[in-house]
Amino acid sequence: MSSGDEGLLTLTIKMRVSPEPGSGQELTNLMRRYREALNYAIEVVIENKALSLGRAHKLLYSVLKERYGLPSKIAQDCYRKAITVAKSWLRNPKRGKIPKVKTLKLWLTQGQSYRVKDCCIELSGGFKLEITGWDRRYDSYPNREARLVYRNGEFFLMITKQIPKPSKYTPKGVLAMDVNKKEIVFGNGVVRERRETAIERALHYKKLAEKLQQKYSSARYNAWRRRKGILRRIGHFHRKACNIIEDWAKKVSREIAELAKRHQYAVAREDLSYRKLSFWIDWQCEKLGVPIIPVEPKHTSSICSSCSSRLKGNGYRRLKCPRCGLEEDRDRVAVLNIERRALGLLNLSGGSLTAPTAPQMTDVTPNRCGEPNRPSGRGGGQLLPRFHISRNWFEERMWFYVSKPLYHIIVGWGTCSQLI
Ligand SMILES: [Zn+2]
């Protein structure tokens, strides 16, 4: 998802592709040469500050073609990518060593170095790849830049597309949600739903990774970083944990957004430290035109949702109001309070139930790192949500999952595509 175009959602369509029989080896060879060429080009661009296409072309084009044997269009994409990498490196005040590309990836320009024809991808240099797995729902939107990726013996093409954002309806009510380590609870005065989170499951793999890491980082194994196999296994466990969280967040977010849409509710959520989840909630809502209302998280599970008195503990995760007698579990109280706050915010914005409280898409730029835009100004400061960076349980342990920048929404096929 990008923040550049306000009315558009950017998505990446992931396709499984397979080269014509007998040409796979040749293609991976090209990708290896491309990787070397790109690393060379990055150095040259940085050393010479050749950040314009013209200068980079002069310095690199013929070398990339002749020394590295890249087809001309791919050579152009190569120095174009090198400029992008160099720019972002130069922009970083804390830059370390010159960046080096390690994965096997080709960055491609639509109509230049690649085109989609029927069920095939044509690469410049005469390669043809058959599309074997494809989510066709977005076929009618034009293809933009793409990446060809080679991983674990398979080729994937990731094509970027932009789709228009649907406009948001005027909500008839609010669907509130609250998350704890075990469960995500959502509902309102009428709806009561809860689902298990995937955190336990993800933690299992995270722990496996940490165990390995610990074992091999002891003094006796101080060379563990060089042991490729161990590193690979650690990476595998980390990725597995990350994927579990990601899949769960996508799926539950879609369910919530769809439920909200069916009843024409807005979705109210706290400023979650569960960033992956809030990312997906916002994204699914944007995609379906569901208004989103971020709500101040303070005290949502300590005051009574019907009379605002301070609640007292009443057994495991249960709360009771000493004044009006309301008795509920913690999460349900939080949901009701969030619903109430959201309704308050809606009414405060001058009777219009949509505009100022619905966050813009810029709220969910991937690199925001916990600094969501807040609707500003209106409605009296006391009700406007503030963002707390609390070093709570989740943040400490889950930082790994959320610190990985998520640049695009990936639409896959099969089970994955159904999650979006
Ligand atoms: Zn009460």
CA of 187 relative to ligand 1 center, distance in Å? 19
CA of 321 relative to ligand 1 center, distance in Å? 5
CA of 184 relative to ligand 1 center, distance in Å? 24
Per residue in 120-167, pLDDT (tens digit) is 999 998 999 999 887 778 888 889 999 999 988 899 999 998 888 888
Residue bearing the bigger pLDDT, 390 or 44: 44
- DSSP label at residue 191: -
CA of 332 relative to ligand 1 center, distance in Å? 14
pLDDT at residue 147 in the model: 95
Rounded Cα–Cα distance for residues 99 and 90 (Å): 10
Q: Give the mean pLDDT of 339-367.
A: 53
> Would you call 229 helix, strand, or coil by DSSP?
helix
Question: Is the torsion defined by CA of 44, 49, 51, 57 positive or negative?
Answer: negative
Q: Is 138 exposed, middle or buried (0-12, 13-18, 19+ CB in 10 A)?
A: middle
Show Cβ contacts of residue 266 under 8 Å, excluding neighbours closer than 6 positions: 171, 173, 174, 175, 260, 290, 291, 292, 293, 342, 346, 353, 358
Query: What is the DSSP annotation of 115-134?
Result: EEETTEEEETTTEEEEEEE-
CA of 371 relative to ligand 1 center, distance in Å? 34
Residue 185 scores a pLDDT above 80 = yes
CA of 320 relative to ligand 1 center, distance in Å? 8
Q: Considering only CA atoms, give the Rg of the chain.
A: 25
245 closest CA partner among 48, 116, 397: 397
pLDDT at residue 73 in the model: 94
CA of 307 relative to ligand 1 center, distance in Å? 4
Rounded Cα–Cα distance for residues 10 and 13 (Å): 10
CA of 303 relative to ligand 1 center, distance in Å? 8
Residue 336 structure tokens? 């009701």
CA of 415 relative to ligand 1 center, distance in Å? 45
Report the percentage of the chain scoring pLDDT > 70.
78
CA of 300 relative to ligand 1 center, distance in Å? 13
Q: Name the least confident of 78-82, 152-156, 373-377.
A: 373-377
Domain residue spans in the chain?
8-164, 173-197+237-404
CA of 192 relative to ligand 1 center, distance in Å? 19
Rounded Cα–Cα distance for residues 75 and 77 (Å): 5
pLDDT at residue 236 in the model: 87
CA of 339 relative to ligand 1 center, distance in Å? 16
pLDDT band at 271 (very low <50, low <70, confident <90, very high): confident
Residue 85 scores a pLDDT above 90 = yes
CA of 312 relative to ligand 1 center, distance in Å? 10
pLDDT at residue 385 in the model: 30
CA of 323 relative to ligand 1 center, distance in Å? 5
Q: Give the mean pLDDT of 234-254.
A: 90
Show Cβ contacts of residue 226 under 8 Å, excluding neighbours closer than 6 positions: none
The rounded mean pLDDT for the chain is 79
Per residue in 186-212, pLDDT (tens digit) is 999 999 999 999 989 999 998 998 888
Show Cβ contacts of residue 142 under 8 Å, excluding neighbours closer than 6 positions: 110, 161
pLDDT band at 419 (very low <50, low <70, confident <90, very high): very low
Per residue in 94-119, pLDDT (tens digit) is 888 888 998 899 999 999 999 998 88
CA of 322 relative to ligand 1 center, distance in Å? 7
Please say whether the beta carbons of 364 and 353 come within 8 A: no
CA of 327 relative to ligand 1 center, distance in Å? 9
pLDDT at residue 224 in the model: 55
